[in-house]
Each structure stands twice: as structure tokens, then as C-alpha cells.
Amino acid sequence: MATGFYTAASGMLTQQRTINVTANNMANASTPGFKTERVVSTTFQQQLLMRQEGYQKTNIGKGDAVRVIEDVPTQFDSSYITETYNPFDFAIQGEGYFNVVDEGGTTYLTRNGGFNIDEEGYLILAGAGRVQGLKGDILVEGSDFTVNSDGNVFNSKGVMVDTLKITGVAEGTQLEKFANGLYQVPGAGGDIGITAGLYQVATPNIGQGMLEGSNTDYNRELTLLISTQRNFQSCSKILQMIDEVDQKTAAIASL
């Protein structure tokens, strides 16, 4: 009974993690640049194969291994881009990420182009830091500035002050996700510009007055949430049944 008990409990934990992640996806359905997450659990066949080949020590039947990954199959799909006509909103219509540096000097990547300006007139992403150009922090001073499709920033006098730094991520490079749609290559820190797997996008396609939305399908997430809740309830009932059988077994054994 111990094996069944732990397997049912593991199933409950897996479904609970899925509920949490799905609820977070739904809560961020309107967050600019947000990318849907998924909980992926290994199957019995995968665990058995890894055990036989010696790749990983697993306890067959003892539980359900879980890991969370990002599911972003449409991160460059322009269908998620809408016009806002706000001069501080930007969307990358293609590959790449904006670069933002926080007060501690750490650089992050993001697809969220909902920018603003700070008290000194620098372009910022609220709660994250200053937006980076090829020369560093971008000084726009006010809302009367323009950015062309190549990412060149022009002030109110038409003078080019900088170019948006758009960083591409090589295929196979893993990104670590942070709050507010921020990403970073693990271990990069402030030296993200020289980190392996990243490169400067030579010809970005930037849209001013546009914003990339979330790739979350609310209806799909709601359906998944309902299904997961039912699975959680099923595992809970199984756990209760096993517990009742254990109690009856213990009572009989004590006679």
C-alpha cells in the first residue's frame, strides 16, 4: 500500500503545481510580452529507460518527477502585436529581445516594450530598469522622440541619439525567467553582451506605438485548469481510499 499511497500523493502534488502554473498564465493573459509556462512530468517509460541506461537513478512507481519549462512556440508571431499609438510602446516584429539594466548593473532581456521615462529623461521599463542602446542608457528627455524600424532613436530635433540594443538568442540557449517578463542567461550577470549564445540582431524590425501581448490562450488555459482540478480530485479520492484500506488492515491485524 505504501507505493500506491506515495504515487497518489505525488499525483496530487503534480496536479497542484499544474493548477498554480495555469492560474499564473491566466492572470498574465494581458501582460505585455508574457510567455505561457507548462508543467511537464516524465512518463513511466522514460523513467524506466533512464534507469536501465544508468542516466538517472529513479524510484519506479514511487512518484512523478516534475519540471517546469517555458512553452513559447509563437514568441515571434506578429499576430500578438497591437497598435497603441503610445510613443513609449515598442514591439519587436521578429527575433530578439530588448535589453534592460537595473540599478545594480544587471542586464535582463525582455519582449515587453511597454516603456516610460524616469525623472532624468531616460527610457525605462517600470520595475526593471533603464532600456539599453548601443551606447548605454537611452536619453529621450520627453515624449517627442521617434524610433524607426531599425531601432534608431531620434530626439525632438531629429538628431539620432542612439540605437536600441536588440539581442538575439541562439537556438538551444537556455534562458532563466524572472518576474515581469524578464529573462537572463544563467550566470551572465552584467556581462550579458559577451555571453555565449547571445548576439546582436543586425537588422531588427521595431514598431513604435505598438505592443506585443501575451501568447496565452485564455480559453485553452481555462479548459486545462478545469481538467487539472478534476485530476487533483481523483488523486485525492484515491489517497483517501488507500488510507481507509490501510486503517482497516491495521484494525484486522490487531485482532
Most confident segment among 38-42, 56-60, 77-81, 149-153: 149-153
Instruction: Write the pLDDT tens digit of every residue in 151-194.
Output: 999 998 899 999 999 999 888 787 888 887 888 887 655 555 55
pTM: 0.72
Regarding whether 249 and 207 lie in a shared domain, the answer is: no
Regarding whether 208 and 87 lie in a shared domain, the answer is: yes
- Identify the DSSP state of 161: E
Mean pLDDT, to the nearest integer, of 114-131? Answer: 93
Regarding whether 130 and 41 lie in a shared domain, the answer is: no
Mean pLDDT, to the nearest integer, of 130-146? Answer: 93
> Is 100 a residue whose pLDDT tops 90?
yes
And the C-alpha cell for 91?
Answer: 514591439
Regarding whether 193 and 109 lie in a shared domain, the answer is: yes
> Is 122 a residue whose pLDDT tops 90?
yes
Q: Which domain holds residue 245?
A: 2-73+216-253
Regarding whether 63 and 92 lie in a shared domain, the answer is: no
Regarding whether 12 and 52 lie in a shared domain, the answer is: yes
Regarding whether 180 and 88 lie in a shared domain, the answer is: yes
The mean predicted confidence, pLDDT, of the chain is 80
Which residues are CB-contacts of 213 (< 8 A; sequence separation ≥ 6)? 30, 32, 33, 80, 81, 82
Q: For residues 242 and 195, what is the distance between their CA atoms, to the nearest angstrom?
A: 52
Regarding whether 198 and 138 lie in a shared domain, the answer is: yes
Regarding whether 181 and 94 lie in a shared domain, the answer is: yes
What's the Cα-to-Cα distance from 34 to each of 20, 120, 198, rounded to whole Å? 16, 28, 20
Regarding whether 208 and 83 lie in a shared domain, the answer is: yes
And the C-alpha cell for 181?
Answer: 517578463
The total number of structural domains that make up the chain: 2
Regarding whether 35 and 112 lie in a shared domain, the answer is: no
Regarding whether 169 and 156 lie in a shared domain, the answer is: yes
> Is 61 a residue whose pLDDT tops 70?
no
